[in-house]
A and B are shown apart, each in its own frame.
Chain A
Amino acid sequence: MSPFDDASGLPPAPAWDDAVMMAALLAVDPAGLGGILVRSWAGPARDEFVHAAAALFPGGARLRKMPLNITDDRLLGGLDLTATLAAGRPVNAHGLLSQASGGILALAMAERLTPALAGKLAACLDAAAGPAMLALDEGIGPDEAPPAALADRLAFTLADVPGDADWPSPGMIELARARLPHVSCGDAMFEQICGVAAALGVASLRAVIFAQRAARAAAALRGADAIGTADVAAAARLILAPRATRMPAPPAAQAADTNMADGQQPADMPGDDAPPEGEGEAEGTEDRLTDAAAMALPPDLLAALGAGGPRRLVRGGGHAGDAASLSRGRPLAPRRGALGGAARLSVIDTLRQAAPWQRLRTTRPGRRIAVRPEDFCIKRFKERARRVAIFAVDASGSSALNRLPEAKGAIQLLLAECYVRRDEVALIAFRGAGAETLLPPTAALARARRALASLPGGGPTPLSAGLTAALRLADAERRRGLSPFLVLLTDGGANIAADGKPGRAAAGRDALAAARRAAGQGVPCLVVDTSPRKNPFVAALAAEMRGRYLPLPYADAAALSRVVKNFGADHASLTA
C-alpha cells in the first residue's frame, strides 16, 4: 500500500493487516459488501477473528452463528410448533436472519451448505436487509467449496486468519459509517477500478461494484471526502486480486485501456485530497495498481492457468444427504416419528393418530384437540438417488498404441447414455507419474467431451494411482449423498507402483490391492479391457473389484450402453 501514499499526498491509509481491513470495511458498509468468505479451519485464531470482526459493529458484539442443519422456520421465522401446541393458539417466532439483522451471522461449515439454504441466504444478501455474513469454509481441495450463489455475493475472501493484529476501535467505524454517504467518487477512480478489473480478467460486474463500494468504505475509514488512489489500491488487492483469472497484460496492452481516460480530469475532487494528475502519470498509477494486485495473487494461479482451467471449479455445493428424503421428493406414506431436523409434521395423520384418545385425555376447556408428541407423524419422501459416473481412463503409451481412440469413442457413447439418464460424470486420466482429475463431477456433458477430446496419450501406466484417485472421488461423492459408480478403461499394462517407482510386479500387486479396496468400499464397477486381446490381468482386476468385466473387442455400442444402464438401475435399487 505504501507506494501510493507518498505519490498522491493523501492522508496515510491505516496500516492494518488485510484481514482486519476486510472486517473494518465490512463493518463500515455491511449492506453493500455482504460478507467475508473465511477459508480456514476451526481454531482459536478463527474464533478470535470472528469475535473481533463482530465487535467492530456498533452496538457491541452482535454475533449469531448458524448451524448447517437449520430449519426454514428457524432461519426465516414462522410458526413455533411446540409453543403453538402448548398454548393452543398460533405462536410466531422470529427467524435467525431477522434476529441477527444489523450484526454478523457466522455460517459454520459453509462448504457443506445445501444449494437451497445458500439460495435463501443469497436472497437475504440481495435484499441488503439482513446481517453481514462470515462464511466459515473448511473445504479441502477444489471440490469442497461453498455454493457459488453465496460465495459470489460475499465481497471478500480471506485465505488465512491473522494471529495477533491491531484492530480499529468501534468509534472509528461509527465515524466512518456517518461519513460514508458523503464520500464522492471521481470519474478517474471509476475508470481506475474498471481498468484494474479488466487487466486482471475479472468479468463479473458484481465484483467491480464490490470493489467500488470497498474503496468508498476505505476512504470513509480514512476520514477522506473522496475516494483516492490508495483506496482503489486497497479494494483492488482485497477484492479484485482474489478473483483474477489472468495475470495483468504487459503495459503496452494496458495503455489502450487507459487511453479512454483522455482529457477527463477528476472534476469534483477537493484539491487537497487529489492533486490533478497528468495523463502520463495516470497511466503509471494504473500500472502500479495492477502490479500491487498481482503481488497479492494466489501463487497457484499461473499453474492452474497453464492447465487451462479455472482456478477453482465450484459446483452446486454440498448436496443434502440422508435428510433430504424427509423434505423433498415424491411423497410416501407418513409414519410415526419425532420432529426435528428436516422432518416435517404430517398434520392429517397426526390428528388421526390422536383421535381415538381424545376422550381419555383430559382436555382443558376451550381446547378442542389434545395432541401429544407420541402422536406425531412425519412426512417421508422418496428421492431418486442421483448417480455420478466416474470414468477412470488409462491414457498411457501402451493404451494409446492399442486403442485409446476406441476407448474415447466408447466413453462418448456412455456419456450420451448418462445425458439421457441425467447422471453426472467425472473424468480421471492416469498416465506417466500419476492420475489427474480432468473433470470434477458435472452435469455439463459438453465439458466432459471437451476434456476427453484434449486427453493426450503416452507414458507408463500408474494403474493403482488411477484407481486410488477414482475411489477417493467416489468416496467424496458418496459423502455428498450421490451414488457413484466407476467405469475403468485400461489395457492392464500396469508398470508404475503406488509409490511411483517403475516395476511391473509391484505395480500389478498395488493395482490388485487398490481393486480390493474398491470392493471393500462397495462401489459398483465396470472394467473395460482395451487391450488387443483379452488380458487375464484385467479380468483378475475386475474380479477383485467385484465389478463387471467387459473386453472391448466384443463390446459393440449397444452392449456397452446396456451394461451401463443396468449398472445404474442395480445401484438405484440399493439406495432407494
Chain B
Amino acid sequence: MKRVFPFTALVGQEEMCEALVIAAIEPRLSGVLILGDRGTGKSTAVRALAALLPDMSAIAGCPYNCDPADEAALCDACRAGGEHAVRRVRVPVVDLPLGATEDRVVGALNLERALADGAKQFEPGLLARAHRGFLYIDEVNLLEDHIVDLLLDVAASGENLVEREGLSLRHPARFVLIGSGNPEEGELRPQLLDRFGLCVEVRTPADIPTRVEVVRRRDAFDRDPEGFCNRFADAESALRERIVAGRARVADIAVDEAVLIRAAEICAALGTDGLRGELTLLRAARACAAYEGAGAVTLAHLRRMSAPALRHRLRRDPLDDSLAGTRVARVVEDMFAA
C-alpha cells in the first residue's frame, strides 16, 4: 500500500489540525472549511487524518459501507437483508473535483449492466462513496452552483435522494465535509458556509526554522516513506487512541449553565444568524473537552472553539474584507476579560 504522510509529522498549522481532529471526533459538526493560500498542506492534512483513523466495520458487499451497529442508518438493501457479514474498511476520503458532473456526484444508471443485461441498476456516485468518511472539495469556492445545490441538501439531511434516469431510490450519505479554498479567488454562498461546522484560516509559516523543518520532513518522507512512518508510528497510535476515546465519551460530556450562558452571550455579541452558531459552538466545545479527556466543558474549551465555530457565521457586508477572525477574537477577548 502506498504510504501517506503521517498526520503527527505535520509542522505548524495547529489550528487546522485541531479542527480536523475535533471534526473527526464529532461528525455531527459536519465539517471543516479551510481558507488560505495554496501549498499550505491542506490536502496533505486531510489525507493524513483519514489514514490515521482506525478502520471501521461495514456490512460486506454494501456499496455504501453501512454500519452494522447503527440500525437506523442502514440502506434499504441492508435493512431487508437480515444477517450480515461484516468486514473492516478504511475510512474513505473522497475527492470531489471541480467540474464533476451531476452523474458522478449523485450516481447514475449503471451503463454496463443496462447494455449487457438490460438491468436497471444504480451505480453509486461520490456521495455514496463518502458515506461515513470525508468528502474533500479543494477550491470549494469555485464549485459550480448546481453541484453546490446538490451538496447543500445532502449535507443537511444525511441522505441522497435519486430521482433520475428512471431510477428512484435513496441511500444514506453522512460525511464530514472538508472544503478548502482561497477567498481572494471567489466568495462562498452563505448557505454553503453554514454547512461547515468549523472554519479555520491557514497561512504559510513565515519563520525560517519552521519552514526548514517542513522541507526536511518532506525530504525524509520522499526518500524513505517506510522508515519515516515508523518514526511517527507511536505518535500516530497515541493520537488515534485519543480520538477513539474522545468519540466514545463525547456524548457523556456535561455542559453546565454558566457555559451555556457564556456561549449565548458570545453569539449575541457577534450577531450571528439563528441558533446554529450556538449549537455548533457547544458541540465543538464538547468535542474539544472529550479530546482533552475532561469530564465537562469549561470556559477554556469554549474560548478555544469560538473562533473556528463562529468566524464564518457573522453577518457580513460583501464589500467589507476585514478578517472575520479578528472580529471574533476581539469579542471573545472582551467577554473573557470581563
Contact = CB atoms under 8 A, between A and B. Distances in A.
A206 interface: yes
B306 to A, nearest CB: 24
B216 interface: yes
A443 B115 contact: no
Contacts of B103: 344
A419 interface: yes
B334 interface: no
Interface centre among B116, B117, B118, B211 (most CB of A within 10 A): B211
Given A198-B208, A205-B39, A208-B215, A384 B145 contact: yes
A69 interface: no
Contact of A190 (B37, B99, B212): B212
B55 interface: no
A126 interface: yes
A90 B115 contact: yes
A347 interface: yes
B112 to A, nearest CB: 4
A412 B319 contact: yes
Contacts of A115: 98-99, 139, 142
A114 B98 CA distance: 9
Interface string B25-45: 000000000000111110100
Contact of B37 (A114, A204, A257, A348): A204
B212 A369 contact: no
Interface in B203-261: 204-206, 208-209, 211-212, 214-216, 218-219, 222-224
Interface in A410-449: 412, 415-416, 419, 422, 442-447, 449
Contacts of A387: none
B187 to A, nearest CB: 6
A235 to B, nearest CB: 11
Interface in A320-338: 320, 327-331
A207 interface: yes
Nearest to B142: A316
B321 A205 contact: no
Contact of A116 (B100, B112, B215, B223): B100
A420 B107 CA distance: 31
B38 A148 contact: yes
Contacts of B41: 205
A422 B191 CA distance: 14
Interface in B71-117: 95, 97-103, 109, 111-112, 114-117
A123 interface: yes
B215 A152 contact: no
Contacts of A209: 214-215, 218-219
A190 B117 CA distance: 60
B38 A190 contact: no
Given A152-B39, A205-B40, A316-B142, A90 B112 contact: yes
A329 B218 CA distance: 41
A347 B109 contact: yes
Contacts of B101: 327-328, 344
A215 B196 CA distance: 40
B330 interface: no
A116 B99 contact: yes
A90 B101 CA distance: 22
B38 A204 contact: yes
A418 to B, nearest CB: 9
A331 B166 CA distance: 14
Given A120-B97, A330-B146, A446-B318, A369 B118 contact: yes
B164 interface: yes
A89 B318 contact: no
A149 B142 CA distance: 11
Contacts of A412: 319
Nearest to B205: A205
A194 B208 contact: yes
Given A126-B43, A328-B146, A257 B166 contact: no
Contact of B215 (A193, A198, A449): A193
A364 interface: no
Nearest to B143: A115
B166 A348 contact: yes
A205 B211 contact: yes
Contacts of B164: 331
Contacts of B219: 185, 190, 209, 212-213, 216
A89 B116 contact: yes
Nearest to B223: A181
Interface centre among A88, A203, A315, A415 (most CB of B within 10 A): A203
A329 B146 contact: yes
Contacts of A85: 115
A260 interface: yes
A348 B215 CA distance: 53
B298 to A, nearest CB: 35
Interface in B176-218: 183-187, 189, 204-206, 208-209, 211-212, 214-216, 218
Contacts of B146: 328-330
B165 interface: yes
A320 B208 CA distance: 41
Contacts of A126: 43
B222 A32 contact: yes
B117 to A, nearest CB: 8
A190 B165 contact: no
A169 interface: no
Given A116-B100, A190-B216, A445 B109 contact: no
Interface string A329-362: 1110000000000001111100100000000000
A331 B144 CA distance: 15
A257 B207 CA distance: 9
Contacts of B144: 328
Nearest to B99: A116
Nearest to B109: A347
Contacts of B214: 205, 208-209
A5 B145 CA distance: 56
Nearest to A330: B146
Contacts of A190: 212, 215-216, 219
A197 interface: yes
A444 B186 contact: yes
Interface string A30-52: 00100000000000000000000
Contact of A444 (B98, B185, B211, B212): B185
A445 B184 CA distance: 9
A123 B185 contact: no
10 contacts: A32-B222, A116-B98, A197-B211, A204-B39, A315-B185, A331-B102, A443-B187, A446-B319, A447-B321, A449-B319
The 4 nearest A-B residue pairs measured at CB? A116-B99, A206-B39, A446-B321, A204-B39
Given A328-B99, A446-B321, 8 more contacts: A84-B116, A194-B208, A205-B41, A260-B208, A316-B142, A347-B165, A446-B320, A449-B319
